[in-house]
Amino acid sequence: MEERKFTHQPVLLEEVLAWLNPQSGGTYVDCTVGGGGHAAAILEKSSPAGCLIGLDQDPHALEAAARYLAPYGERVTLVRENFINLPQVLDELGIPAVNGILFDLGVSSPQLDVPERGFSYHHEGPLDMRMDPAMRHTAADLVNNLGEEELAGIIARYGEERWARRIASFIVRKRQHQPIITTSQLVEIIKEAIPAKSRRSGPHPARRTFKALRIAVNRELEVLPEALRQAVDLLLPGGRILVITFHSLEDRIVKNSFRRLANPCVCPPSFPQCICGQKPVLRVLTPGGVAPSEREVNLNPRSRSARLRVAEKLSPVLNATGGE
């Protein structure tokens, strides 16, 4: 894959640097390194002695990141791995804890722009959608093999698509005649399934279904809560976790995960004081999240839906007293 395919502007870059505040001598993790845009900026800010571990399950992204980050030499370690396995990665590297962790969730612009990856409803390509090409199941496998009810459930749950049942019904009917193996085939089926009146306004009619299948194929929402909890465990006191989301489902998971770790007490509100012994481990620094500036949205329209959430690991002293 050509390097230009992974050349893109990292979203909320200035905000990430401001909240992460990388320092020389610190160790940072980019759990979704992509083409290396955020990673390079973190390495620049933490010069001369800051180190970065970059994870990505997409080998094409790692190849691009390796080229882009080569000038930083031994300050960079790149690992092909899903971020759910961050504890094992750091353990193998002999790193017990780090100063900051960044997650930039969802599909990247380069992945969307490469037809062969099958992520985009705008391009003709195989119905793939795997972020890691070594994964067993593609979107085509789900579309051609799942039962109608299960397929409708995925489209409704992950795509928040009001026409999920009708789309699933049309898919099942069409696949009885021939397998659905390309993005354009699926787009046409979705257009047939959604009534014309509902297609005249709003986003592309296939947008929600494609998002739902991508999330299902890559188990994006399944692994996120545990990945966030593990990441917080791996932070040094005062270390920060930053998460960039692009849709309401993943943003809700991040917001609720941070909230539970910041306020873990399960005692009834009527209790005069906490007796459950659950102490906060995080301080939420951006309760409402951080949106991109108007200038960034104008320069990069795909950043419009991005939201950054930040939390800080509490010190043992603060944690022991239950304070924030």
Determine if residue 30 is labeled as part of a ligand binding site.
no
Going edge to edge, which strands form the sheet with 27-30? Answer: 76-80, 51-56, 27-30, 98-104, 235-245, 307-313, 282-284
The contacts of residue 1 (CB under 8 Å, 6+ apart) are: 60, 63, 64, 114
* Degrees, nearest 5: CA angle 209-127-151: 40
Determine if residue 153 is labeled as part of a ligand binding site.
no
Determine if residue 56 is labeled as part of a ligand binding site.
yes
Determine if residue 83 is labeled as part of a ligand binding site.
yes
Determine if residue 258 is labeled as part of a ligand binding site.
no
What letter represents residue 33's amino acid?
V
φ, ψ of residue 136 to 5 degrees: the values are -75, -45
The contacts of residue 166 (CB under 8 Å, 6+ apart) are: 193, 194
φ, ψ of residue 67 to 5 degrees: the values are -65, -45
Please report the sign of the dihedral spanned by the C-alpha atoms of residue 76, residue 77, residue 81, residue 83.
Answer: negative
Token couple for 67: 């080229």
Determine if residue 38 is labeled as part of a ligand binding site.
yes
Closest by CA to 219, choosing from 158, 260, 175, 144, is 158
Based on C-alpha coordinates, what's the Rg of the chain? Answer: 21
Determine if residue 57 is labeled as part of a ligand binding site.
no
Cite the annotated binding site by residue number. Answer: 36-38, 56, 83, 104, 111
Cite the annotated binding site for S-adenosyl-L-methionine by residue number. Answer: 36-38, 56, 83, 104, 111
